[in-house]
Structure 1
């Protein structure tokens, strides 16, 4: 019964998302890129981590992460509008900060690719007898070699089309997961009630752990670099839409998960969601693994291409995209064999926090130039400070 309901939700959601009036709508196509990146960044990992660490407060922490991301997004949206209005006539300091931000983003992409591909490795072996860190890392290493070879010899044009295919499938599977959780929770309610466990991590430790998870809600910044495809107004609108949709999905998901499962009921790992969903419906682990492999691979390809393109642009061609891909692979393999997934997540969060701090500083500087907008300059400056705090104090999950 529950499996049938999950499959019905998946099929119905996919059918709606594939309707021409939605799939071909310009606003939806503009929204898909940041939305795919946000959901791909942390949906599968975040729920079990927040449930195990924050208990009854997991939903509030999830909302806080989404709110922080939305505020950083506000700074980037402000910068999109400023660039559209002033173009190359922007203040010299803004241009210099923008260059620094681009370098930081190229580096952040390098770490995020390691995060995506290590998650891919872990999920690829999660339903097999080879479910251990060594085999997961071997899979990650093989995928790195494949990505480097494709980038070096062919380019990513064909692979990047995977994003268009995976987004609808991923959202449909999420609809199935949420449906399964609702029915599972209703079924357990008469006997077990709602789980209202106290948090395991509190105080400053709870704050620094949340800092280390900011990468799980990143991805909205991709809109900043779609200027060749969409005008500023469309990019600002699509970023907001993507963040609103992602916030709704994340908050509902974490609320259902934390009310249905007590902390410690399933051992915490990067693939804990698979063990949780085995309890909910037998079909869900298979669907989630398929979604994870496609989503993490497409996200890794996008960020690899983004990093290489940024570095080539910033060095004015002195470092080509091929050399950038090779450096990214070397750094990624070092992280793969030297760190666990949760440690990579924390480093990625800190790297993106630097980028968000610089974008907030750019927005603060631009707002300060207009006397009527100086209150906004203080707000953006506060965001820049928040980004630096995440950079300095973000901590990894202890599994």
Structure 2
């Protein structure tokens, strides 16, 4: 694709990157078949190809209108188009550049601006969000059904992991909303890794991964959150004795961003090198567990023959877009669950988004609900007993549309191993 970017942007790092991405697109249209919004709306401008055309116009200096903003806002950033694209177009990165630019060139309504501001300020604040959820749960019985389903009940309390210290250790990202909505996810992770001879630790000063603000157009605010996390983790990464092996993320929506810290902060003279180091250490929990198979399999074999073991059942696995298209980790979780004795139901069109997409379910509720309902239909064709996933946003969004229990897969593994004692000697693969 030929480009003629404006003088204002063509010589900037963002402009040079956007130019290279635009030139790599051959407008073949393969992306249309896997774009969720195009499948729903049938509008070329609500497809990756159409949005690329709109961003090209903007970068070439043509007028930016509310229509351009609308079609970019409707994008879920699921990146299914990247998985499909034969030319390797880095659509997600182009979209970040385009969204950053459009926030400078257009004005939203005061209501839309305020709504986005509230989302940026309230959701990442763990203390406030926890309080807000407490108040919402108190009023939950008085709400109509469709609103009641959007407020999850208070999660059951979970036993904290043991205090046993191992020679191996890993950091864990607690996240913004997950500690309030599903605290057992990280507890379960710590208990499973404890059985594998790994201590899980948390840096208290670490907070939001930065994705929320960054993808809402407040990119510098998002980068500041990333810098704070790097500062919080750095002492654990660089300590002379027993530095952490990895930074674990149990929410794939956060993981895909933390793995991108090196790219996002590449032009920061103070943080570029640190960010690249942090990104290289970041692992989704599925990667960590898959790497410990030699230790895990004997424990699962013992669990499957134990009378006290949690029962096995048929489940449908929803692989979040951030896991399969963002981090390219399709197929990591299934073998683990199968080794644990679970039966996996067939899922129709597993590449399609559930409609959660961070704050998308709040900002684009109608489209989001349509995508959710389609995904639930696809997940339940073989009548599974529950749905498992790997991201808190997907988990809460899907749960609002089904009576089936929707859980993080690591909790199921934790329950399976609950009554199994690890071997006294844990073999190390490091």
After TM superposition, the score normalised by the length of structure 2 is 0.26
Structure with greater Cα Rg? 2
The structure with higher relative contact order (CA 8 Å, sep 6+) is 1
